[in-house]
Amino acid sequence: MLRKRPDFLAANRGRRAPTPGFVLLVRHRGDEDDTIRLGITVTKKIGGAVVRNRMKRRFRALAREVLPEAGIAGADHVMIGRSGGVERPFGSLRDDLRQALTRIAG
């Protein structure tokens, strides 16, 4: 899990794939570690604390489900919440994440 600001800023220089519910940023770290790291950002523009925390919980569940099989090894993945992500069905978010990873990887 990414927690430090320099990690998020470094991921911002990577590849990006916008979707209706979130923007996915992926950046290869360039070290020998194949660990897939995740960072989540949801701003106050999206809503209050309850809405932001719900969105972060949904993103974590989504990442647990999709990233082990479709994530890019040795890369940092950052999900930036968009206003449409709160109401979007979980199945649609899952499909969006898979498509975004495919676009970035290929």
Mean pLDDT, 10 residues at a time, the chain of 106 residues:
96 97 96 96 97 97 97 97 94 97 94
Query: How far apart (Å, rounded) are the C-alpha atoms in residues 73 and 34?
Result: 5
Q: Are 40 and 60 in contact (CB under 8 A)?
A: yes
Beta bridge partners of 22: 81
Supply the pTM of this predicted model: 0.95
Question: What pLDDT is recorded for position 106?
Answer: 84
Residue 102 phi, psi (nearest 5):
-65, -40
Question: What pLDDT is recorded for position 104?
Answer: 97
Cα separation values, 85 from 16, 20, 33, 100, 104, Å: 17, 7, 31, 15, 20
Residues in the chain, total: 106
CATH number, domain containing residue 39: 3.30.230.10
Considering its fold, how many domains does the chain have in total?
1
Structural domain containing residue 75: 5-105
